Amino acid sequence: MKMPRTLFRKTNVKIALLLAIVAVSMVVMGVLLSGMQESLSRSSYDTEMEEEASELKELLASAEEEASQNKETFDDIYQSKAMSVAFMAANDAGFEATDAKMAEYRQLLDVDNVLVVKSDGTIVAKAAETKANFSYARFNYLRECLATGEPSRAVEIELPGEDWLCRYYAARLDADTMVVIEQNPEELRLLDAETSSTESVLRNISVGQNGYVFALSAQTYLIEYHPDADLVGRDALDAGIDVAKLEDGAVAQLTLDGEELYCRVSLIGDTYYVCAVPESDMAASRMVTVAVILFVFFAVIATVTLYGIFVMRQEERDGHANDHLVRVGRLRYNREVGKRAAIFTLVGFIAIVAVSFYMQTLFALSTQSVVNKERASSIAETIDRVNDRADELTVQYDERYLSKARVAAYILEANPALATKPKMQELADVLQVSGVYLFDGSGSMMVSNAPYEHFSLSTDETDQSFAFWQLLQGVDSYVQEPTEDEMTGELVQYIGVATYDDAGYTNGFVQVMVHAGRLEELLRSVQIDHVLDGVKAGSGGFAFAVSKADGTISYYPDASIQGKQATEVGLKESQIRGGYDDYITIGGETFYASSVETPDYFVYVAGPEGELMAQRLPLTLATGLIALSCLAVVFCLIAFEPEHMPAPLRSMTEDPSADRVFEIETPSGRRTRTESAASRWLNRSLDWSHMTPEQKLGYVLRLFVGVSVVAVFFSVLFKDQIFGTNSVFGYILGGGWERGLNIFALTASVMTACVIFTLSWVVQKVLHLLSDALSARGETVCRLLVSLTKYGAILGTLYWCLATVGVDTGTLLASAGLLTLAISFGAKDLVTDLLSGLFIIFEGEFRVGDTISVGTNTGTVMEIGIRTTKINDGNDNVIVLRNSAISNVVNRTKLDSFATIDVEVSVGEDLPHLENVLKEALPRIAERQPMILDGPFYRGIVALSTSTMTIRVIARCSEKNRSALERNLKREMRLLLTRHDIAPYQLQFEHDEDDHSPLSEGEADELEGADSFVESQDASIGKYDEKRAKKDKDPDARPEA
């Protein structure tokens, strides 16, 4: 009997409706999930960019002030050099308005050029050629010194087309003449670039993972700063920016050099500062998160839907639909289907919520970690750069101060009459130093501008002045490190230059003292606190540093924490290192931080946990609500049906799989279909139409798992091509995170397991194909390798995962901890069987096709597995032996074997005599024993005691003759030893080396009769073996009469 066509049509309509609901649910979930993800991402970036913009004005003002101080200090230095020349001219210190003297001054002052210029611009003397025409009005600032007597303001000329960049300073010589210093300001430009330029401010600001801030002029629309140096100086219009969107506080999508950017614009002064995040970054992050959640949602809703379809089809075929229906209003509810569908729905809903929360956590942490690491690396590069700059500044200031000391020594040597307190004070003012001191050859101060008069160099090596004795011992100059003044507490620095008499001998030295406050300020600008102060990493993110020397917090945004021991404020010892990437707690607040090691510090970039995880809850709740709504609709369609739908009739068609699948009743009373035990071992799958709903569902779930595993495999294999460089996948697989039980370790373990199991599956399939084409031994190896690959993949994955979550696997294996753990869980037999199986195969004891005997069991080897070995006893009975129970195996298929006998001889026997006897007798034994294929051989002493020694003799033979040959060899040895009176087989213990009398006639006859008897016994066995072999070769041959 067949089912009515109407029933099939209505069932198909219901199935079509279910599939349509699944399709609509996927579209709705995808659109809403993508929209919410985009909205939350943009909201997060809006908050972050707003914070960056609010702090940018203060950072730029600070940088502008820094630039002003740098320029003022630079100008003071070169104004002082110009005043030094004017002082020499006014005080008869050897001044001459000649080119030679100017060249001398150029070297003395360490400047690019020194010139004497008239008020009309005429050059009187010069140290080098110059491009300047001082008659031009652009140099009028220099002429101010002629009227005021003070050094002039700086005049800077920059003409790139003429390769002319110089800064000029002037000092008055007389009413119509001035001295001019010409200097390239490259040093000032470099200092500004490192500490106070727009680039130095903006390069320390990041937005998200790859976001940045760029600047462009509000007047010319030229790009003034961009991380890509090739874009600096380009017209924003030509680069693709719609300038109509450039308004203060505007949030817009801009295109720059073909790249779509999500931006926030800030107008500060006459410059637009644009916080920008590449749209591709936002889309990539959104795509992966949405794709994973959407796949899980599809797997869940498809599982529930397909299970309902499978059950409906099965009940149509079996006619059990009415057995579980309950009327609910105008509908009928299928209790059995509804119960199981509800379980799948609930479990699936939990899975969707868990995966959504997991993915949000994973991508939030991984993105933040990548940002932190990039910022930390950038900071480390900045620290290296500023440390080099600090060294350069120290050298520069040392050279500048030394130059001042040399000028002072030059002036006092040129005119000793200037060695008076008033002139010394005037000289100190010109040189812009705090003190000038003149010492004689005995180390006593002759004159200075100091308020005290009597001072001598100390003879105590610990005193500050002791180091200057070396100036009187042949050293030309000495620059002392800045020290703290004991009286004022200020940072001061002393520099000395030796003076010489007319004969060239040292007659004293000049010492200058400078307050190193400006150097201290400049060095402070390149110190760790200044470097980290402007660092921003995401919303609420910051940087701090821990000193490697003493473990204190060298810099922290909260001044109350700065200077304390890192362990006192919450850091653990294991967290104070480079390469750390995990949560930390400071002052009771939790941050996610990444660290990098520099020569002096451990630098951390941290973000608050609350800001990091702000998006997780709303997106997870929204995803859960959408999924629950869709699953509820699917559940209702599966579990409910209209009351007027006709009941299905039982199909009477014969089920061809009845012998493999049948119906049973479970202990709970539920009737279900299952597969027979014998059928489960068949190497043949069931036809789809004959599977139970549970079997079909299991197949579908395996398919989903397989697809996801393969997808992860290819994502790992081609992560850079699919997701781009610096992707989340790249970060997770790179292993830069902290080892331990965390989300990165778990994700890396899952991804690695997918790769290993995919490769393992491919290898197993290849080996199965090879086993059909190889010999018996090849098939044995292939079958073993299949099993070995499967278990090896599991053990390898377990080992790797344990290492990933922070377990010391080396110690674990070295101490046999893994085996101990397995045995403690009752797996002793399993471990023993696995090891025994490996030993059987690799030692080659037997293989598939060999005939073996194990105890009382004899048969042909069918399969050698990891745990068991199967043999056929010849009666189609399969004997399954545990590998650990296989011992004393007799393999009867080997061609050659060795017959081995051990003979005990008295320890007092003459060993050389015995060995000579064997030397002569063994070849004769070989002639007498035709079963010997090679040998026999003497193998020396194998055992030794106080009374006996055991010698060994072996001979090669076939396996079937081994036992017989051993018996014959024992007989031969007994006859030989007795014949030669070898103890304990002799009648007397003395030997006459010259006695080689032949056997008597009676003894010879007796030995010949014994030999004949033995040979007759061997011959009878040989005849039986020949008959057996002939019968095996020709089973139809008739026996001989």
Structure confidence at residue 406 (pLDDT): 92
Tally of CB atoms within 10 A around 88 = 25
Indicate the CATH number for domain 393-523: 3.30.450.20
Please report, to the nearest 10 degrees, the dihedral formed by the alpha carbons of residues 351, 354, 357, 362 taken in order. -100
For residues 695 and 686, is the Cβ–Cβ distance under 8 A? yes
Q: Is 544 left (phi over 0), alpha (psi -120 to 50) or beta?
A: beta
**Which DSSP letter does residue 246 get?**
-
Say which CATH topology domain 532-612 has.
Beta-Lactamase (3.30.450)
* Under 8 Å between Cβ of 917 and 950: no
Largest CA distance in the chain: 154
> Where is 158: in which H helix or E strand?
strand 155-159
Same CATH topology for 393-523 and 532-612: the answer is yes
CA trace torsion 78, 82, 83, 87 (10° rounding): 140
Q: Which residues of the chain, if any, have pLDDT below 50? A: 1-7, 647-660, 662, 664-670, 676-683, 988-989, 991, 995-996, 1010, 1013-1014, 1016-1018, 1020-1022, 1024-1025, 1028-1029, 1031-1032, 1035, 1037-1041
Q: What is the pLDDT of residue 666?
A: 37
Residues with Cβ within 8 Å of residue 361, at least 6 apart in sequence: 613, 616, 743
CA angle 779, 782, 787 (to 5 degrees): 130
Contact 285, 363 (CB under 8 A): yes
**3-class SS at 974?**
helix
* Residue-level pLDDT at 652: 41
User: What Rg, from alpha-carbon coordinates, does the chain have?
Assistant: 49
pLDDT in tens, 1021-1034: 445 445 544 544 55
**Residue keyed to tokens 């050059």:** 123
User: In the structure encoding, which two tokens stand for residue 164, read together?
Assistant: 């002319």
693 token code pair: 């709903």
**d(C-alpha 31, C-alpha 14), whole Å:** 26
Is the torsion defined by CA of 858, 864, 870, 875 positive or negative?
negative
Per-residue tokens: 295: 């796949």
The two tokens of residue 5 are 């066509």
- Grouping H, G, I as helix, E, B as strand and the rest as coil, residue 802 is helix
User: Of 380, 412, 490, nearest to 92 (Cα)?
Assistant: 412
Q: Where are the domains of the chain?
A: 393-523, 532-612, 728-881, 894-990, 1000-1035
Token pair 């430009």 is at which residue?
A: 189
What is the rounded distance in angstroms from the CA atom of residue 494 to the CA atom of residue 445?
14
Query: Distance between CA atoms of 877 and 1007, rounded to whole angstroms?
Result: 51
- Measure the CA–CA gap between 691 and 675, rounded to whole angstroms: 9
Shortest CA distance to 285 belongs to which of 408, 188, 367, 349?
367
Measured distance CA(120)–CA(176) in Å, rounded = 8
- d(CA 983, CA 913) in angstroms, rounded, equals 12
Q: What is the pLDDT of residue 286?
A: 65
pLDDT tens, 973-1015? 888 888 887 767 655 445 455 544 555 555 555 556 545 544 5
Helix (H, G, I), strand (E, B) or coil at 238: coil
In this structure, the chain runs to a length of 1041
Burial of 861 per CB tally in 10 Å (0-12, 13-18, 19+):
buried
Task: Name the CATH architecture for the domain at 894-990.
Answer: 2-Layer Sandwich (3.30)
Smallest CA-to-CA distance from 193 within 182, 185, 205, 184 is with 185
Helix axes 335-414, 186-195, angle to 10 degrees: 150
Cα 1005 to its chain centre, rounded Å, is 88
Strand boundaries in 400-505, DSSP class E:
435-440, 445-448, 477-479, 483-484, 491-500
H runs (alpha helix) in 740-893: 743-771, 776-804, 809-814, 817-824, 828-843
